[in-house]
Amino acid sequence: MSPENPSPSPPVTSAQTWFGEAFQDLHPLLQQLHITGGTLEGEIEIKLGKGLAGFIGRRLAKKLGVPTRHTHSGYKVSISHQGGKLIWTRRFTAADGRSEELVTVFAPHGVYPQGYWQESTGLMHFRLTVDILNGGWNWRVLAASLHGIPIPVRLFPQSLAYKCIEDGRYRFYVGFVMPGLGLLLSYSGLLTLKPARVSA
């Protein structure tokens, strides 16, 4: 396209609007991901707790579509913005070729740092905020509800979920810990980005 007709700038996304000036505190590669969207893809490692923690972890994994028959799985998460919301579409592909897909919608409310994101996965809803640590995006749960009924966060496993940049790739981690039992379930990996135009 000629200089007289420059390419139009991409529309401002919900992530840019919610973070405001703090959006610049994210690593540049995370900024780009939440401007243009794209698909992160690679292999993840899956860990389960021992004993009762492992039993609970397997039940949790089943609800999330995380395969647990093997310690590793193919993983793909597509990140896009639609209708003012942030959409994550996650697909786990087990060693036997079976796959499960989980779609999560994040609706922004207010602006950073007082605002929050409302996460909807099935009948569960979580109110989340983001802590920016060393340029990384770290989710933190503020409140939870089931069928619209508030549930004390302390009754849920404590979760740690983040993405950051490591050697030009995307380090992704999701883990659940129950006080007194320890680790229930975690999955993590170093993922490669396929830009939205390619992943489409």
Q: What is the pLDDT of residues 3-51, one digit of tens each?
A: 556 556 678 999 999 999 999 999 999 999 999 999 999 999 999 999 9
Q: Taking 60 as the threshold, does the pLDDT of residue 197 lie above it?
A: no
pLDDT in tens, 47-87: 999 999 999 999 989 888 899 999 999 999 999 999 999 99
Cβ atoms 91, 99 nearer than 8 A:
yes
Residue 200 has pLDDT above 50, yes or no: no
Quickly count: other Cβ atoms within 10 Å of residue 126's Cβ. 22
Q: Give the pLDDT confidence score for residue 199 in this predicted structure.
A: 42
| 16 inside domain | no
Per-residue confidence (pLDDT) for residue 196, from 0 to 100? 73
The CA distances from residue 140 to 81, 117, 118, 150, in Å, are 21, 10, 12, 17
Phi, psi of 182 (to 5 degrees): 90, -155
Residue 2 within any structural domain of the chain: no
CB 147 within 8 A of CB 4: no
Strand partners, 149: 146
State the residue for tokens 């243009």: 36
Q: Note whether residue 60 is domain-resident.
A: yes
Number of domains in the chain: 1
Domain limits at 150?
A: 41-193
pLDDT at 6: 57
In a domain, 130, yes or no: yes
| CATH number of the domain to which 56 belongs | 2.40.128
Is 198 a residue whose pLDDT tops 60?
Answer: no
Distance, CA of 185 to CA of 128 (rounded, Å): 20
Structure-token match 């602006």, residue found: 111
Classify residue 71: in a domain, yes or no.
Answer: yes
Query: Is the residue at 10 inside a domain?
Result: no
12 in a structural domain: no
* Average pLDDT across the chain, whole number: 90
The DSSP bridge partners found for residue 190 are 171
* 21 falls within a domain: no
